[in-house]
């Protein structure tokens, strides 16, 4: 299982490797929304998202023989870049399975970090099977996107940083909202916060129609999303919570929020206007939940994790200029 000591160990592994990302706020924005909003800007992390944290810790934990065999991963882009960059720095060959419609910046960067990129059709292909087949054929170690305790310990260093930043500024946070796909990020963050900031209540944020964790928390067991939907939040679209992540989140997370694409686009615009951040749609989900439900948080201090900023700029601008973001 995941525990705080694993996260503390991960933090030592990552020292000098990853950035301590800032906890940002805008006084003018706080005044408008009526509560104190603190933004953990993982969009400013190396590779443009939090994913390098877990990927580096996982690959660093491999034996010499395992490293020699290389690693393989599947991802729509952020985990791909994290694994590719971490593997390159540790002298390990990597193969990444990515959908052929992934944002161009994510495909390009993954290759530039040194990975061999294998693409597939998101609708007809099975990315997990493709990655497993590569692992079976080559002996490479599969680095999963979220359902791994060592990987989660790396993501949990975000929670450790947040707790330290709160202490340094003498702040007590009432709530923390985190974007959720498979649940590895929030599992790590919630584990760290439970140890270091136990009064902070933890919440999930997911896109509408992909709120499997929110619904699973309500019934107390893993439930899957209904097929036939799509979302601009490609980085956090999963079908069912992880087998290893969900028990952690069930124990530590209060409840979840489902946000619309209009909510997300409005949050992306706010993060750009008030904090000068380029944030991809999935990375803005937690901010979208906090800003939409601002009356809920009146007078409170709320942390939102902005998990990534790997957006094609033309697409990002089109979202910000769309009518959805103006409603």
In Å, the largest CA–CA distance within the chain is 57
Are 285 and 264 spatial neighbours (Cβ–Cβ below 8 Å)?
yes
Domain end position, chosen among 116, 147, 178: 147
Domain extent at residue 83: 51-147
Structure token pair of residue 182: 């498979």
Distance CA 35, CA 244 (A): 34
Return the ∠ at Cα 213 (arms to 209 and 219), rounded to 5°. Answer: 105
- Is there a single domain that holds both residue 74 and residue 199? no
Are 208 and 223 spatial neighbours (Cβ–Cβ below 8 Å)?
no
Which of the four pLDDT bands, split at 50, 70 and 90, describes residue 326? low
- Is the model's pLDDT at 323 over the cut of 80? no
- Is there a single domain that holds both residue 139 and residue 158? no
- Is there a single domain that holds both residue 104 and residue 13? no
Distance CA 224, CA 111 (A): 32
Q: How many separate domains does the chain show?
A: 2
- Is there a single domain that holds both residue 298 and residue 211? yes
Q: What percent of the chain has a predicted confidence (pLDDT) above 90?
A: 91
User: What confidence tens digit (pLDDT) does each residue in 151-160 have?
Assistant: 999 999 999 9
The pTM of this model reads 0.95
- Is there a single domain that holds both residue 219 and residue 138? no
- Is there a single domain that holds both residue 234 and residue 293? yes
Phi/psi at 95 (5° precision): -125, 130
- Is there a single domain that holds both residue 297 and residue 172? yes
- Is there a single domain that holds both residue 94 and residue 209? no
- Is there a single domain that holds both residue 240 and residue 162? yes
Domain end position, chosen among 77, 112, 147: 147
- Is there a single domain that holds both residue 255 and residue 297? yes
- Is there a single domain that holds both residue 161 and residue 293? yes
Domain end position, chosen among 98, 129, 147: 147
What size, in residues, is the chain?
A: 327
Q: What's the CATH number where 111 sits?
A: 3.40.50.1100
**CA dihedral (61, 80, 54, 149) positive or negative:** negative
**Cα Rg of the chain (Å, integer):** 18
Please, how many CA atoms are within 13 Å of residue 161, restricted to the half-sphere of its CB?
28
In the predicted model, what is the mean pLDDT of residues 41-45?
Answer: 98
- Is the model's pLDDT at 185 over the cut of 60? yes
Structure token pair of residue 47: 């590779």
- Is there a single domain that holds both residue 143 and residue 154? no
- Is the model's pLDDT at 306 over the cut of 70? yes
Residue 102 has a CB neighbour count (10 Å cut-off) of 22
């Amino acid at each position: 299982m995941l525990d705080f000591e694993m996260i503390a160990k991960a933090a030592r592994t990552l020292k000098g490797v990853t950035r301590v990302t800032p906890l940002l706020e805008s006084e003018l924005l706080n005044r408008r929304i009526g509560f104190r909003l603190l933004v953990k800007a993982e969009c400013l992390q190396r590779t443009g998202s939090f994913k390098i944290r877990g990927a580096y810790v996982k690959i660093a934990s491999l034996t010499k023989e395992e490293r020699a065999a290389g690693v393989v991963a599947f991802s729509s882009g952020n985990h791909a870049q994290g694994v590719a960059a971490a593997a390159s720095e540790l002298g390990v060959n990597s193969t990444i399975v990515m959908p052929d419609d992934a944002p161009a910046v994510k495909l390009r960067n993954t290759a530039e970090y040194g990975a061999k990129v294998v693409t597939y059709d998101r609708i007809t292909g099975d990315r997990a099977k493709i990655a497993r087949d590569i692992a079976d054929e080559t002996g490479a170690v599969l680095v999963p996107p979220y359902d791994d305790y060592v990987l989660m310990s790396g993501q949990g260093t975000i929670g450790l940083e947040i707790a330290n930043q709160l202490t340094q500024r003498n702040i007590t946070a009432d709530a923390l909202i985190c974007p959720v796909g498979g649940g590895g990020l929030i599992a790590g963050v919630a584990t760290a916060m439970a140890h270091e900031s136990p009064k902070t209540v933890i919440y999930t944020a997911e896109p509408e129609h992909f709120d499997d964790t929110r619904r699973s928390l309500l019934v107390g067991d893993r439930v899957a999303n209904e097929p036939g939907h799509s979302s601009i939040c490609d980085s956090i679209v999963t079908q069912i919570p992880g087998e290893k992540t969900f028990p952690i989140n069930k124990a530590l997370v209060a409840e979840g929020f489902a946000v619309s694409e209009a909510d997300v686009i409005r949050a992306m615009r706010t993060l750009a206007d008030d904090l000068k951040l380029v944030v991809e749609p999935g990375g803005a989900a937690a901010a979208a939940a906090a800003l939409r439900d601002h009356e809920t948080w009146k007078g409170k201090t709320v942390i939102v994790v902005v998990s990534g900023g790997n957006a094609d700029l033309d697409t990002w601008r089109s979202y910000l200029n769309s009518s959805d973001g103006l409603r």
